[in-house]
Amino acid sequence: MSESKRRLILGLQDALGATVTTALHDPDVVEVMLNPDGNLFIERVGQGIAAAGRMASHDAETVIGKVAHALKTEVDQDRPIISGELPLGGHRFEGILPPAAPAPMFTIRKRASMLIRLDRYVADGIMTPEQVDVIRDSIVDRLNIVVSGGTGTGKTTLTNAILAELVETTPEHRLVILEDTAEIQCAAENHVILHTTDTVDMGRLLKSTMRLRPDRIIVGEVRDGAALTLLKAWNTGHPGGIATVHSNSAAAALTRLEQLVAEVSSQPMPEVIGEAVDLIVSIERAPGGRTVREILRVEGFRDGRYLTTPVGASKPESIQGRNLHVV
């Protein structure tokens, strides 16, 4: 580590304070949130969100400024929002300054601290053995898998579990992984990880990916019109990929993809979506814990509707899984 980076990290730790720094080293912590009023909140696995003291406004502004410096960008009144990886641990950081917020505020979404295998999902009651079998068969058959869920449901953690199975099943495949922040864990010998920047968006990365000779394309999260580029890539010689999308159900994931495609197209292109997406795995956070509520097999779009079939027996709603450290 260079001396300049060491000083940056020490200064950042000092600005964050003991409470936040300790939380970032706590494996049970999922997220740290600072509100504009100076109140800190910390979410822990199995405990929910609890108050954790206060942080002075000038310290919060210092934190945001130091993160911007580490990301080699600027944050000020004209550009009051900064997104990227925290220099400490690579956690996901979102900072906002006035006038976009009443006072400096930020959230830190921690990276998953460990790789959780699919068998553990079964043991913890989050998935059924039948659902795991469906996913494993889909990997062998090179189906394109979309993992859907709301914020904090564990989409990335589940994606890492699926990816681990993929690497064991097809170790010879070259994987290209695209992310906004470093969250995907990949043990493949032949893999490339690319990150978006302030000047290189997901769409640009996807276009470059086509020249990197991928066997499979993995996208940490599809957020915008880049969805169309990904779908076309999956449809043109790069099957067997994985992506995540924000939605509250498996069926809603298809609608969400239509909305994203519509950002760059005059039409939602459901035929393209129906051809590219083969399997949707929907995970949700319920009062009793996280659960894979359903898996849908998608077999195209005809006569104005998606042809979908539920596959893999799910757990009854009265039986839900325990919490894992999820992202």
What average pLDDT is seen over the chain? 89
Locate 303 and state its tokens: 């006569």
Using the predicted structure, report yes or no on whether residue 130 has a pLDDT greater than 50: yes
Supply the range of the domain harboring residue 51. Answer: 3-109
Give the residue with greater pLDDT, 87 vs 37. 37
Residue for token pair 């790789």: 115
Quote the number of domains for the chain. 2
Spatial distance between the Cα atoms of 158 and 30, rounded to a whole number of angstroms: 15
In this structure, the answer to whether residues 103 and 129 fall within a common structural domain is: no
pLDDT of residue 1: 65
CATH number at residue 289: 3.40.50.300
In this structure, the answer to whether residues 104 and 172 fall within a common structural domain is: no
- Average pLDDT rounded to a whole number, residues 290-310: 95
In this structure, the answer to whether residues 142 and 290 fall within a common structural domain is: yes
In this structure, the answer to whether residues 84 and 146 fall within a common structural domain is: no
> Residues near 128 by Cβ (< 8 Å), separated by ≥ 6?
122, 292, 312, 313, 314, 315
pLDDT of residue 326: 44
In this structure, the answer to whether residues 159 and 293 fall within a common structural domain is: yes
pLDDT of residue 316: 59
Q: Could you report the per-residue pLDDT of 231-272, keeping only the tens digit for each?
A: 999 988 899 999 999 999 999 999 999 999 999 998 889 999
Residue % of the chain over a pLDDT of 70: 94
CATH number at residue 97: 3.30.450.90
Residue for token pair 């990997």: 139
Using the predicted structure, report yes or no on whether residue 321 has a pLDDT greater than 60: no
Q: Is residue 88 part of a domain?
A: yes
Q: Is residue 246 part of a domain?
A: yes
In this structure, the answer to whether residues 171 and 233 fall within a common structural domain is: yes
Residue 39 binned pLDDT confidence (cut-offs 50, 70, 90): very high
In this structure, the answer to whether residues 100 and 134 fall within a common structural domain is: no
pLDDT of residue 7: 84
In this structure, the answer to whether residues 136 and 174 fall within a common structural domain is: yes
In this structure, the answer to whether residues 134 and 256 fall within a common structural domain is: yes
